[in-house]
Amino acid sequence: MVVLLNLLWVAILVVAALSYWKWRKTWIIVVTAIALLIYPMVQPSYMPKGQVKRSSVPAFEQSHSEIQDRLLKPPSGEEMDAKREQMIKDGLPFKDPTK
C-alpha cells in the first residue's frame, strides 16, 4: 500500500512538472498543491512512537543432564535372526479360552 502511494505521489509530481513547463495550466498546479497537502496525512508514519521497556533475561540454571543418542539404529542381522528363531520356538501366544 505504501509503495502504491509513493508511486502515485511520483506520478503526480511528474505530471505537475511537465504541465508547468509545457502547458502552464493552473488547474494541474492546484491539484498538485492539494496532493501535497493530503499526501502527508495519508502516508503512514514509521517513526518510533515512544520507548519500549526491555524485559530482563531470566537466570537459567546449568543443566547437568547427559546427552543421549536417541537415534534408532537397526539391529544387526544376527540379532534379528536370533529373535526370529526365538519367536518360532516360543510359538504364538494364545489366550486360554476358559479364562
Give domain limits for the chain. 1-26
pLDDT in tens, 63-87: 888 887 777 788 889 999 999 999 8
| pLDDT at residue 20 in the model | 66
| pLDDT at residue 1 in the model | 60
| pLDDT at residue 22 in the model | 63
- Top pLDDT among 55 and 21 is at 55
Query: What's this model's pTM, rounded to 2 decimal places?
Result: 0.28
Tell me, letter by letter, the H, E, C secondary structure of the chain: CHHHHHHHHHHHHHHHHHHHHHHCCHHHHHHHHHHHHHHHHHCCCCCCCCCCCCCCCCCCCCCCCCCCCCCCCCCCHHHHHHHHHHHHHHCCCCCCCCC
